[in-house]
Amino acid sequence: MLFHDRSAAGQILAKYLAHYRHRPDVLVLALPRGGVPVAFEVARALDAPLDVFLVRKLGVPGHEELAMGAVASGGVRTLNPDVVEPLHIPQHIIDRVAQREQLELDRQQRAYRHGRVEPEMANRIVILVDDGLATGSTMRAAVEALRKQRPRRIVVAVPVGAADSCAELRAKADEVVCAICPRHFNSVGSWYQDFQQTPDQTVQNLLDRADRPHATNGRSALPH
């Protein structure tokens, strides 16, 4: 299966999440930037609020694909001791990388939120959406960071993902929904006809189009 674009992928993914439709405690969070067009369609289909969850992976210097931790929305920093301890990464290196990634996270915060407050995560069913899973390192970092904000349930949802990455995330999240897990994955982009980079302006436009009253309704109906 080839998805036409991220919006079409989101419409298909939403069908796999239909059991969460019309639930007042559901919140859809997109990983910018490519996850936003996917999540927009999911949130619309589920009649759920949409927001972004900003996370920046802390890559090991010289081996940036290897995540030693992450910084995320809400001032959360997580570290991966399975990477930090064997490599003996000193604190000043971690701090330097974290400071650099925090600057980009702050830029995204200003660009996407326009001063809007972050939604309440505690006791909610949070559906984390991206356009696909390759190594899964950013999504794993997002799950670990989000867990600190005490959601009741974390659902990872993607249109396509590498089978081993989806399997690894099942040990981190409460549920993983992947529309297709091809045996020969190759790359996320190879499963889209149109996989152009999602510009900041598109992210802003989709967030502006999202039904903002949901955010208030969702919080007022949270379980106590």
pLDDT of residue 213 exceeding 70: no
Distances (CA, A) of 30 to 49, 89, 95, 139: 11, 31, 26, 11
The answer to the question of residue 192 being in a domain is: yes
The answer to the question of residue 154 being in a domain is: yes
The answer to the question of residue 98 being in a domain is: no
The residues near 189 (Cβ < 8 Å, ≥ 6 apart) are 195
pLDDT of residue 157 exceeding 90: yes
- Mean pLDDT within 193-211: 91
The answer to the question of residue 132 being in a domain is: yes
- CA–CA separation, 164 and 151 (whole Å): 25
CATH number at residue 196: 3.40.50.2020
- CA–CA separation, 17 and 123 (whole Å): 19
Of 222 and 51, more confident: 51
- Mean pLDDT within 152-167: 96
Contact 37/5 with Cβ under 8 angstroms?
Answer: yes
Tell me what the pLDDT averaged over the chain comes to: 89
Contact 201/178 with Cβ under 8 angstroms?
Answer: no
How many domains are there within the chain?
Answer: 1
Which pLDDT tens digit goes with each residue over 54-104? 988 899 999 887 888 888 877 778 888 888 999 999 999 999 999 999 999
| Stated pTM of the model | 0.83
Which pLDDT tens digit goes with each residue over 118-146? 889 999 999 999 999 988 888 988 998 89
Cis-peptide, bond into residue 147, ω within 30° of zero: no
The answer to the question of residue 216 being in a domain is: yes
The answer to the question of residue 85 being in a domain is: no
Task: Say what the pLDDT of residue 151 is.
Answer: 97
The answer to the question of residue 69 being in a domain is: no
Instruction: Look at 1-5, 12-16, 38-42 and tell me which has the smallest mean pLDDT.
Output: 1-5
Task: Say what the pLDDT of residue 218 is.
Answer: 42
Q: State the residue range of the domain holding 205.
A: 6-55+121-220
pLDDT of residue 171 exceeding 70: yes
- Mean pLDDT within 1-23: 96
The answer to the question of residue 60 being in a domain is: no
Instruction: Look at 3-17, 75-89, 117-131, 146-160 and tell me which has the smallest mean pLDDT.
Output: 75-89
